[in-house]
Amino acid sequence: MKVEKVKYVLWAADWRRCVAFYRDLFDGEVTMEMEVWSEVIVAGSTIGIHGGGEGKRTWTGLSFQLDDLREGIELLKKHGGDLTREPVDTEEDPLHLAMCIDPEGNEFMMTQKRRSAD
């Protein structure tokens, strides 16, 4: 047996909106698009989107590491997502983690690599 691909699956009440969100926010490539199953490739990983979800808030465990978290937060909101809580940015602990939610209720994280200690 050979594993050909690993997919992370999200449920969406509005599958078109969900596909557009991940495509536009993360510059993803849509490789399949239909109500029962769509796929968006982000940084080499496949996000599968299954229509027919209830749109309820659901923790996914999905995380995206970005080079610029502040820009990611701006784009998140621009594309219809939101933060589940505002991130903390202090001199002792610079901004590195944002808890997010997509328009379908799927919760995920966006992170930025922490600076190394001097």
Largest CA distance in the chain: 50
pLDDT (tens digit per residue) in 29-41: 999 999 999 999 9
Decide: 6 and 46 in contact? Cβ < 8 Å. Answer: yes
Whole-model pTM: value is 0.88
Confidence class for position 92, pLDDT limits 50, 70, 90: confident
Is there a domain that residue 95 lies in? yes
Report d(CA 41, CA 48) in Å as an integer: 9
Average pLDDT of the chain is: 91
Decide: 24 and 79 in contact? Cβ < 8 Å. Answer: yes
Domain boundaries, position 103: 7-112
Tell the residue number behind the tokens 């209830």, with chain if given: 54
Confidence class for position 104, pLDDT limits 50, 70, 90: very high
Q: What is the CATH number of the domain that holds 36?
A: 3.10.180.10
